[in-house]
Amino acid sequence: MENLGPKIKRLRNNRKWTQEEFAEILGYSDRQIRRLEANGSNSLLVLENIADVFNISLEDLLFNEDIR
């Protein structure tokens, strides 16, 4: 099972967004994005916001390995 941090990084890279661009889209600091991609842990609200940005469900973000 793919860890959440690398999965978020893969989804971001698939959209050709830098960490800074992704942070701006979410309204977070690029430091928060670096930490999130490094260890994948964060609040449920942050994860829901990330799922919304990628236009996927929270369930897909957390459990679907095939999501692009």
Residue 34: per-residue pLDDT: 93
Radius of gyration of the chain (CA): 11
* Amino acid at site 20: E
Task: Compute φ and ψ for 42, nearest 5 degrees.
Answer: -170, 180
- The average confidence (pLDDT) of the chain is 91
Question: Which CATH number characterizes residue 28's domain?
Answer: 1.10.260.40
In the block, tokens 């930490």 appear at 35
Residue 68: per-residue pLDDT: 78
Residue 13 inside a domain? The answer is yes
Q: Indicate the pLDDT class of residue 27, thresholds 50, 70 and 90.
A: very high
Number of domains in the chain: 1
Q: How far apart are the first and last CA of the chain?
A: 15
**Mean predicted confidence (pLDDT) in 51-61:** 95
Residue span of the structural domain in which 12 resides: 4-56
Sign of the C-alpha dihedral computed for residues 66, 49, 53 and 32 taken in this order: negative
